Amino acid sequence: MPSMNFFFHLGVMAGITYLVRMLPLVLVNKKIRNRFLLSFLYYVPYAVLSVMTVPAIFYATSSPWSALAGFVIAMILAFFEKSLLTVAIFSSAAVFVTEFLLPIIQ
């Protein structure tokens, strides 16, 4: 059974995420014309995803070397615009193979 503290965090998180989506839908009926605001909201998802990925990705596996291998494979496949699933699977496979080979090489 999750703690009270967890439910408190969950409630705050879910409440804010919901309000951010629901309020404009219920209250606003005009289109946003402010170019700065539109541009800011365009860039935010890319900036958020990037700062969450680097450097965290290099600590996501049990060795920095396997993480590096997974990162390089992900970058190559993403560059050629492979699907999210393809990139994820081959990136994971690169980590698995590297971690299998590392003890043999060292």
31-90: contacts with other proteins (CB under 8 A): 31-32, 35-57, 60-62, 66-67, 70-71, 74-75, 77-79, 81-90
101 binds other proteins (CB under 8 A): no
Asked whether position 104 contacts other proteins by CB under 8 A, the answer is: no
> Cα(58)–Cα(75) distance, rounded to whole angstroms?
13
Smallest distance from the beta carbon of 69 to other proteins, in angstroms?
Answer: 9
C-alpha–C-alpha distance, residues 27 and 104, integer Å: 62
Evaluate whether 70 touches 87 at the Cβ level (below 8 Å).
Answer: no
Q: Is residue 103 part of the contact set for other proteins (CB under 8 A)?
A: no
Q: Does 25 bind other proteins (CB under 8 A)?
A: yes
CB of 28 to other proteins, least distance (A): 5
Exposed e or buried b for every residue in 71-105, given b needs 16+ CB within 10 A? bebbeebeeeeeeeeebeebbeebbeebbeeeeee
Which is it for the CA torsion 46, 22, 84, 54, positive or negative? Answer: positive
Q: Which of 20, 104, 105, 106 binds other proteins (CB under 8 A)?
A: 20
- Shortest gap between Cβ of 106 and other proteins (angstroms)? 16
